[in-house]
Amino acid sequence: MEIKLKKAITFEGKEINTINLDLEGLTGEDMAQAEREYLAMGGQMTSLTLSHAYCHCLAARAADFSVETIRSMSARDSTNIAMEVQLFLHGMEDQVPGRSA
């Protein structure tokens, strides 16, 4: 899934305007590693799929970026990314009106 950023970022010296989230390519191990990373950042064991921080950890794996890169994005872009991960994890990516997954 490609997400167009509202505000470009610089990553490894390159301007990035879109991010490709390969959510379908994630595995259970990716989720477990993202959970460990989230908890190491001080996250709490709540409903992980509702946590923006956990979703950022998972998105970082799906996009092959660091969590810091995802978190350095504008509030709107980082929220949009977290919401895309949430929709995917809950199997709702095809149920949002006016949007194609």
pLDDT tens across 6-19, in order? Answer: 999 998 899 999 99
CA–CA dist 61, 25 (Å, integer): 10
Q: What is the pLDDT of residue 47?
A: 78
The 10s digit of each residue's pLDDT in 65-93 is: 999 999 999 999 999 999 999 999 988 88
In angstroms, the Cα distances linking 55 to 15, 49, 65, 75, 100 are 23, 7, 13, 14, 20
Is residue 11 a contact partner of residue 65, using CB atoms and an 8 Å limit?
yes
